């Protein structure tokens, strides 16, 4: 048995379909030929471990980002998810970013890889600048106290919930696939996959959508194939 992990990224301008084990959820569907207008969204909260929210200590450049009690009217917890992958503090020019030396999370005015994020269906928030190898991703994490960090994805952290962050304007779904014919390796029947497939669709600030699929499981080869 081996672990299967994959990532799928899509930008959808008209409709985004999220299939789940119990059915399907459609977001933003429009009739064929209909004009599609951007739908700016107000900033909203990113919820992390222990039911706390990602919070800037101030609105100034270089301010530390921490987890604190969720307060719906707090300007320091209103985040905008942009199509370029940046997450900005609403009403400011400041972006959520990782310090490339210390990997502490803070606000920064510069848009680069360290301020570019991808929210995956497994509720991890991947930092693109720190994750040169997609199989060894660096994700937003909470060590249990103080400031947020960017650290390597580890199962212990995921299971403890330290690396799980629920993004705003996102629908999540999960389904179990058993004995699914594997489509890789030059054929459809060389192995059978058993895995959990997690899916998500996020509406971004410009009205477009970002989607993710994460598969976790294993495969068994078919004798003779």
pLDDT digits 0-9 by tens, 78-131 = 999 999 999 999 999 999 999 999 999 999 999 999 999 999 999 999 999 999
Would you say residue 33 has pLDDT above 60? Answer: no
Q: Domain limits of the chain?
A: 10-22+45-221
- The residue whose two tokens read 């399907």 is 24
Would you say residue 68 has pLDDT above 70? Answer: yes
Question: What was the pLDDT predicted at 42?
Answer: 66
CB atoms within 10 A of CB 90: 17
Least reliable range by pLDDT among 15-19, 55-59, 128-132: 15-19
The reported pTM is 0.80
Closest CA to 53 of 131, 140, 128, 121: 140
Residue 166, classed as helix, strand or coil, is strand
Please indicate whether residue 97 or residue 144 has the higher confidence score (pLDDT): 97
Q: How many helices (H) and strands (E) does the chain have?
A: 1, 16
Domain made up of 10-22+45-221: CATH architecture:
Trefoil (2.80)
- The residue whose two tokens read 């004798």 is 223
- The residue whose two tokens read 């990602």 is 54
Longest dimension (CA), the chain: 63
């Amino acid at each position: 048995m081996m672990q299967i992990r994959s990532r799928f990224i899509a930008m959808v301008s008209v409709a985004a379909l999220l299939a789940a084990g119990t059915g399907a959820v459609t977001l933003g569907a429009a009739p064929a030929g209909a004009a599609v207008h951007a739908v700016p969204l107000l900033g909203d909260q990113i919820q992390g471990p222990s039911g706390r929210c990602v919070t800037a200590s101030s609105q100034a450049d270089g301010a530390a980002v921490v987890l604190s009690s969720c307060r719906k009217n707090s300007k320091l917890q209103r985040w905008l998810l942009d199509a370029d992958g940046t997450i900005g503090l609403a009403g400011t020019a400041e972006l959520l970013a990782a310090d490339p030396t210390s990997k502490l999370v803070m606000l920064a005015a510069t848009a680069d890889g360290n301020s570019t994020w991808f929210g995956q269906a497994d509720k991890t928030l991947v930092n693109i600048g720190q994750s040169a190898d997609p199989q060894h991703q660096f994700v937003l994490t909470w060590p249990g106290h103080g400031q947020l960090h960017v650290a390597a994805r580890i199962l212990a952290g995921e299971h403890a919930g330290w690396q799980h962050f629920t993004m705003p304007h996102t629908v999540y779904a999960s389904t179990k696939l058993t004995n699914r014919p594997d489509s890789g390796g030059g054929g459809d029947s060389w192995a059978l996959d058993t895995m959990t497939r997690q899916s998500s669709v996020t509406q971004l600030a410009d009205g477009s959508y970002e989607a993710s699929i994460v598969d976790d499981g294993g495969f068994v080869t078919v004798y003779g194939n």
